[in-house]
């Protein structure tokens, strides 16, 4: 018996290391395919240049749905391609401008997404500048009433991962209108969540507490924030004229676009992988999140061209409405719950199409341990980060399924230079970086589809 | 005695881990300084926009020497700033053009650096297209004589580190004129060493075997190579008109620019750190290698502003003539040899100002082991690669000193999109990526200056 046990142990070890060798060979093939034969860059060009930016509920968002559906159909990589209905909010930006009244000095601003409009002729008001909510709390209501609160908070530059700074400072964009509105402000202007010292404002979503008066909210560029702050130092009584024309309309019907390859052995075990199809209404939504969408499409194309039959089902999703509602991600989870599906993993790429660094993960200790054991297979491709906790917004609602949630981690230095701005365009995406990202996701999907949890 | 030995062992361990903790705190300060208070980005702007490109021996190269010297003086971070004489070659580009004779289709080309000129009116000749030297070897001399050899070799896209592809394929640029000239060709056109499919040629250095006739050599853009290859498929008898006006003049005097902080404990042990000041004569030499120069300057400024007194001497060098002669690097080693200096390490940044990934190293097993033991201190900054062998060209001549040679490893995906082209300009450099690179070099210099070898 002893001999047999040892023999058995050796046999298992050999078969395991053989599997690992096979995996490393196949993963090399996956990366080579992406670097030489991927459609992702040309698909991204079509989405950015052919459709353009695509805020949920806009005409362009519907064009994007059509484009994605037809693209997935025409590539013939999936067993099924279908649309999943999602009701989405509709917010429209018409006009936005701001200037210092006394010298007509223009300030570069964008309305924040979801903001109410100013009165027809705008607001002319004095400015209360604060750097933090703590500072705002110190100022009595009567000093704020009727004025424009200017939250001039500089995003932290010392974090190495820029998403850490975004998360730390996001509260100013998200809650600024509520915090200032609660003290009677007429409007709020937030310094953009940017790491680039230029004159481009960064839009993004914000919220109102339902019980409060809703006040107009805008983001101001780094340079214009400097100008305004300097002008206030010279004369604290200057006024700013702020005009926002924007409106919230009735919800409309839109769609998640979904494509699947059925698993050969465990068709009921589903791996969700995707990016979001909607974007803000500036630029072309290239890094946010055109890249995530085209990378996900390439997973299916790789399986087909390399003739890999996944053992578990791969469901690629181009999510709708990540930016201002997350209704697509929620809808997918809701429908899957009704159908009692078994979703084992959700992987998103929504941090820009930059050089991959690893994967963020969120799941049980066992799941995370299993995936970390694959990390050596990614070392030749310069992926080194498997320790950070996190996941993509659209796949987060899959938590209830006990799924391992993941997000591709990429080099984050450039992202907040252009995030939610008119500079987020196709030309800012590097072909190889995009391809290395999609290869990494494909390789991870391959491993999970083979070994499950 | 036994007790004492154990006690002693514990004491050493505590002091070592305390040192490591101190190091990690100081390294965090170094990174924070670079991300919030560095001069490197504005220095790079001055070098790129104020001086521009700066081929050895050109007027601009001398402007760059003056700029570097005055910058180092004015920053007052070094104990001494001085110039080291270097005799450099002078090659000048005056005019370059190429087109397919029969339809006047323009082809985007640049003369390779060091090429001889064509006759005054250019060369009109038939084309022999090959993809490799093996193919060229198959063609009889009489078929090549008097024709233009077109080496249409596609750089390998599947390597993850693009420098591996550059090294593999560099032989076509470097030896193309000799290989084609040996078989009687009138000129050679090489497909650019590029990973971007655009219409921009990439220049760079080439060589002639002295015994052979020297023939004109040019690089052609990716797109124009496609056009020419397609035209040849349609009609192999087409001719190309090639005109290169360029010349090699007499050597002139130039300089390495050097700044030093004397070591407080071991002033005779010297760490060399630098980048090269010269560039090719296209674009602004931003990534190649303005970034390496300004990153090196920031090492000194960091030591001064953070009040770190290095125990060993730090010598920062802006090398002259890396691109077409390496005479600055050789000169530094030569002078140090005469002075019997003890150079313990040479670190260069010459792979572009992109996000740092780690360090290439070349040295004794012991040296490499010692530096690898620091790698955990760099993990919070996303540096993960300490296993690759290599070093910077300018510090390579320091091998004879038994010095550990190193080069900052950065994310390499974008470099060969713009290397040696008119697109290598300031705007292509990301401020944070540049700063993270200089912080990494500073931290490494700090550790070596503290612990030596």
Residues B134 and B187 in one domain: yes
Question: Distance between CA atoms of A125 and A110, rounded to whole angstroms?
Answer: 18
- As a whole-number percent, the residues of chain A with pLDDT over 90 amount to 94
- Residue with the bigger pLDDT between A14 and B325: it is B325
Q: Is residue A84, in this structure, part of any structural domain at all? A: no
Residues of A in contact with B287 (CB under 8 A): none
Q: What is the value of pTM for the model shown? A: 0.95
B225/chain A closest Cα distance in angstroms: 18
Nearest CA in chain B to A32: B158
Question: Distance between CA atoms of B218 and B206, rounded to whole angstroms?
Answer: 10
Look at residue A4 in the predicted model and tell me its pLDDT.
43
Binned at pLDDT 50, 70 and 90, residue B16 comes out as: low
Give the best residue of A197, A355, A379, A426 to mutate against chain B (max B CB count within 10 A). Answer: A355
User: Per-residue pLDDT for A451 more than 90?
Assistant: yes
Q: Is residue B21, in this structure, part of any structural domain at all? A: no
B124/chain A closest Cα distance in angstroms: 35
A436/chain B closest Cα distance in angstroms: 8
SS3 content of chain B, % helix, strand, coil (to 5): 40, 25, 30
User: Per-residue pLDDT for A10 more than 70?
Assistant: no
Cβ separation of B414 and A436 shorter than 8 Å?
no
Look at residue A20 in the predicted model and tell me its pLDDT.
65
Residues of A in contact with B426 (CB under 8 A): none
User: Per-residue pLDDT for B11 more than 50?
Assistant: no
Contact between residue A148 and residue A128 where contact means Cβ atoms under 8 Å apart? yes
Residues B295 and B213 in one domain: no
Contact between residue A220 and residue A292 where contact means Cβ atoms under 8 Å apart? no
User: Per-residue pLDDT for A1 more than 50?
Assistant: no
Where are any strands of DSSP class E within B309-418?
312-319, 342-348, 356-362, 404-410
Look at residue A392 and give its three-state secondary structure: coil
User: Per-residue pLDDT for B379 more than 60?
Assistant: yes
Residues B110 and B159 in one domain: yes
| CATH number of the CATH domain containing A446 | 3.40.630.10
- As a whole-number percent, the residues of chain B with pLDDT over 90 amount to 94
Residues B444 and B422 in one domain: yes
| Residues A299-316, mean pLDDT to the nearest whole number | 98
Cβ separation of B411 and A414 shorter than 8 Å?
no
To which residue do tokens 């991870």 refer?
Answer: A444
Look at residue A21 in the predicted model and tell me its pLDDT.
65
Binned at pLDDT 50, 70 and 90, residue A210 comes out as: confident
Q: How many CB pairs under 8 A join A and B?
A: 65
B223/chain A closest Cα distance in angstroms: 16
**Which residue from A162, A355, A381 is facing B411, i.e. has the nearest CB?**
A355
Q: Is residue A97, in this structure, part of any structural domain at all? A: yes
Give tens-digit pLDDT for A57-98. Answer: 999 999 999 999 999 999 999 999 999 999 999 999 999 999
Residues A380 and A327 in one domain: yes
Give tens-digit pLDDT for B385-441. Answer: 999 999 999 999 999 999 999 999 999 999 999 999 999 999 999 999 999 999 999
Q: For chain B, what is the domain count?
A: 2
Residues of B in contact with A162 (CB under 8 A): 432
Binned at pLDDT 50, 70 and 90, residue B8 comes out as: very low
The DSSP line for B244-268 is EEEEEEEEEEEEEEEEEE--SSEEE
Give the best residue of B36, B166, B376, B384 to mutate against chain A (max A CB count within 10 A). Answer: B384
| Residues A370-388, mean pLDDT to the nearest whole number | 98
User: Per-residue pLDDT for A381 more than 80?
Assistant: yes
Binned at pLDDT 50, 70 and 90, residue A295 comes out as: very high
| Residues A329-335, mean pLDDT to the nearest whole number | 98
Q: Is residue A325, in this structure, part of any structural domain at all? A: yes
Give tens-digit pLDDT for B173-216. Answer: 999 999 999 999 999 999 999 999 999 999 999 999 877 789 99
Which chain A residues in 347-366 lie under 8 Å from chain B, judged by CB atoms? 355, 357
End-of-domain residue from the set B248, B275, B290: B248
Question: Distance between CA atoms of A408 and A417, rounded to whole angstroms?
Answer: 19
Look at residue B18 in the predicted model and tell me its pLDDT.
58
Kind of pairing between the strands at B148-151 and B404-410: unpaired
Residues of A in contact with B357 (CB under 8 A): 382
Binned at pLDDT 50, 70 and 90, residue A6 comes out as: very low
**Which residue from A35, A158, A431 is facing B36, i.e. has the nearest CB?**
A158
Give tens-digit pLDDT for B107-121. Answer: 999 999 999 999 999
| CATH number of the CATH domain containing A178 | 3.50.30.30
Q: Which domain holds residue B103?
A: 92-248
Residues A236 and A279 in one domain: no
End-of-domain residue from the set A247, A272, A294: A247
- Residue with the bigger pLDDT between B371 and B213: it is B371
State how far Cα B22 lies from the chain centre.
Answer: 33
- As a whole-number percent, the residues of chain B with pLDDT over 70 amount to 95
Q: Is residue A359, in this structure, part of any structural domain at all? A: yes
Give the best residue of A426, A430, A432, A439 to mutate against chain B (max B CB count within 10 A). Answer: A432
Residues A58 and A97 in one domain: no
Look at residue B15 in the predicted model and tell me its pLDDT.
53
A322 in catalytic set: yes
**Which residue from B32, B158, B414 is facing A158, i.e. has the nearest CB?**
B32
Look at residue B427 in the predicted model and tell me its pLDDT.
98
Q: Is residue A287, in this structure, part of any structural domain at all? A: yes
Question: Distance between CA atoms of B420 and B283, rounded to whole angstroms?
Answer: 8
End-of-domain residue from the set A222, A247, A272: A247
B429/chain A closest Cα distance in angstroms: 10
**B433 touching A (Cβ < 8 Å):** yes
Residues B383 and B431 in one domain: yes
Residues A322 and A395 in one domain: yes
Q: Is residue A15, in this structure, part of any structural domain at all? A: no
Task: State how far the alpha carbon of B210 is from the alpha carbons of B112, B141, B183, in Å.
Answer: 17, 20, 15
Residues B105 and B216 in one domain: yes
Arithmetic mean of pLDDT over chain B: 95
User: Per-residue pLDDT for B309 more than 60?
Assistant: yes
Q: Is residue A13, in this structure, part of any structural domain at all? A: no
Look at residue A5 in the predicted model and tell me its pLDDT.
41
Residues A69 and A146 in one domain: no
Residues A375 and A430 in one domain: yes
Binned at pLDDT 50, 70 and 90, residue A11 comes out as: very low
Phi, psi (rounded to 5 degrees) for B235: -155, 100
Give tens-digit pLDDT for B410-419. Answer: 999 999 999 9
């Amino acid at each position: 018996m002893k001999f047999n046990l040892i023999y058995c142990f050796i046999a298992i070890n050999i078969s395991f290391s053989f599997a690992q060798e096979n995996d490393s060979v196949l993963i090399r093939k996956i990366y080579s395919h992406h670097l030489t034969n991927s459609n992702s860059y040309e698909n991204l060009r079509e989405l950015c240049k052919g459709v353009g930016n695509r805020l949920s509920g806009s005409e362009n968002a519907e064009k994007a749905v059509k484009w994605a559906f037809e693209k997935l159909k025409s590539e013939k990589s999936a067993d099924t391609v279908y649309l999943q209905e999602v009701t989405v909010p509709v917010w429209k930006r018409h006009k936005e401008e701001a200037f210092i009244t006394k010298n007509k000095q223009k300030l570069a601003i964008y309305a924040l997404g979801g903001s109410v409009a100013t009165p027809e002729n705008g607001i002319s008001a004095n400015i209360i500048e604060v750097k933090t909510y703590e500072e705002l709390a110190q100022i009595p209501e009567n000093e704020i009433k009727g004025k424009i609160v200017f939250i001039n908070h500089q995003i932290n530059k010392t974090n190495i991962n820029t998403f850490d700074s975004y998360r730390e400072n996001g509260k100013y964009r998200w809650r600024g209108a509520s915090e200032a509105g609660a003290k009677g402000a007429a409007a709020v202007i937030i310094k953009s969540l940017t790491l680039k010292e230029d004159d481009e404002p960064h839009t993004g979503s914000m919220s109102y507490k339902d019980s409060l008066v809703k006040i107009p909210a805008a983001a101001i560029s780094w340079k214009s924030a400097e100008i305004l702050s300097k002008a206030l130092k010279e004369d604290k009584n200057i006024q700013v004229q702020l005009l926002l024309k924007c409106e919230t309309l009735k919800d409309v019907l839109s769609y998640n676009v979904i494509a699947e390859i059925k698993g050969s052995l465990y068709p009921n075990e589903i791996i969700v992988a995707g990016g979001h199809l909607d974007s803000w209404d500036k630029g072309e939504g290239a890094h946010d999140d055109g890249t995530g969408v085209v990378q996900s499409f390439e997973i299916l194309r790789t399986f087909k061209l390399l003739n890999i039959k996944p053992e578990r089902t791969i469901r690629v999703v181009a999510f709708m409405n990540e930016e201002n509602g997350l209704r697509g991600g929620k809808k997918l989870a809701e429908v899957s719950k009704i159908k009692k599906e078994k979703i084992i993993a959700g992987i998103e790429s929504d941090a820009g199409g930059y050089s991959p660094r690893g994967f963020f993960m969120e799941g049980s200790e066992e799941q995370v341990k299993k995936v970390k054991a694959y990390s050596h297979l990614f070392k030749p491709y310069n992926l080194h980060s498997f320790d950070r906790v996190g996941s993509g917004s659209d796949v987060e609602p899959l938590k209830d399924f006990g799924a391992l949630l993941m997000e591709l981690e990429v080099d984050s230095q450039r992202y907040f230079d252009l995030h939610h701005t008119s500079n987020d365009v196709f030309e800012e995406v590097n072909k190889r970086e995009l391809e290395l990202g999609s290869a990494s996701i494909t390789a991870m999907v391959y491993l999970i589809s083979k070994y499950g949890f």
